[in-house]
A = this chain, B = another copy of it.
Amino acid sequence: MMRVITVKKPGGAEQLQLSEREKPKLNSGELLIKVEAAAINRTDIINRQSSSGYLNLDVLGIEVAGIVEESGSDTAIEPGTKVMGLVNGGGYAEYAVMPADRAMIIPDNLSFEEAAAIPEVYLTAYQTLFWLGELQEKETVLIHAGGSGVGTAAIQLARQLADAHIITTAGSSEKLDFCKSLGADHTINYKLQEFDKEVLAVTDGQGAAVILDFIGASYYRKNLNSIQMDGRWILIGLLGGAQLENVNLMEMMSKRIQWKGTLLTPRSDQYKEKLTADFAGRALPLFKQGRLKPVIDKVFPMEEVQEAHRRMESNQNIGKIILKMD
């Protein structure tokens, strides 16, 4: 048996509980991992709240870092190897199963907590900036929610891999200062400033070539004002609502906007394998060199998972919230 976190019934953080489950069975091509740390993601909160989540498993959690305990047939990774990566649910647990082609070897200079802070947000930031956003060297990118997990990863990747012109929004000067320290060129406090006016001001009226939009409806008009001709607008979250009442398609055509909706978690195993391989090749050396740094907000012991969820839901965090197994 092993200790895990489950949901009593769909609802608030109070529904999270410590339970016991059988250790998962290993299939061909999989690794059984002794989990040292897992990270909290918004998708976990959505799954906690809804009875129709992504998962078949009743254990939350989509990313872990730990030590390979057992390797299935057809895997090249030996027991004892320290790995991090995405799992198909079941991450808030002492043991988790991971498709081996999704495991990334943890650079020596990183702790398990730091490693658990990498997969979801860096893969998402990498996918949205480069695969979907097609961000080119020196282009301007507008990264909303700059203090979030994906935001902090995106700022670093845009800086280190594309030397981009980076504009970021956040809701406190503490978060904005931190974004600058990660490599943002311009920061905008969305509570005090009209972000579209600022974006146009610092781009000579051109706007941003790529927008990472975690907000949706409430930012629609300002994002439209902020995007440049042929811009790629990646919709990856709906913190500001989903419902738009007034869309003029001529604006989309005349600016030749590419508007792309995406979610990482429900994508296929093949997609995640390909993304992991591409990301690992380009980014892992930069973690080793210290040019990319996982951003940890706070580490909670497994027993305090309710606190961990509440912290994310109140948007207090800068970077990732981590669950430490013991």
Contact = CB atoms under 8 A, between A and B. Distances in A.
A235 B249 contact: yes
B250 A238 contact: yes
B255 A257 contact: no
A76 interface: no
A247 B249 contact: no
Interface string A44-71: 0000000000000000000000000000
A260 B263 contact: no
Contacts of A147: none
Interface residues of A, number: 29
A253 interface: yes
A250 B217 CA distance: 10
Q: How many copies does the complex hold?
A: 2
Contacts of A217: 249
A258 B261 CA distance: 6
Interface string A237-248: 010001111111
A254 interface: yes
Nearest to A260: B258
A249 B259 CA distance: 11
Interface string A24-55: 00000000000000000000000000000000
Interface in A295-315: none
A260 B227 CA distance: 14
A216 interface: yes
A263 B253 contact: yes
A131 to B, nearest CB: 11
A2 interface: no
A281 to B, nearest CB: 23
A247 B248 CA distance: 11
B261 A256 contact: yes
A253 B261 contact: yes
Contacts of A238: 249-250, 253
A201 interface: no
A257 B253 contact: no
A110 interface: no
Interface string A255-272: 111111111001100000
Contacts of A262: 253, 256
B252 A235 contact: yes
B260 A257 contact: yes
Q: Nearest 9 pairs between A and B by C-beta?
A: A252-B261, A253-B261, A244-B247, A242-B250, A242-B249, A258-B260, A259-B259, A216-B249, A257-B261
Given A132-B258, A245-B245, A252-B261, 19 more contacts: A216-B249, A217-B249, A238-B249, A238-B253, A242-B250, A243-B248, A243-B249, A244-B247, A244-B248, A249-B261, A252-B259, A254-B261, A254-B263, A255-B261, A256-B262, A256-B267, A257-B260, A257-B261, A259-B259
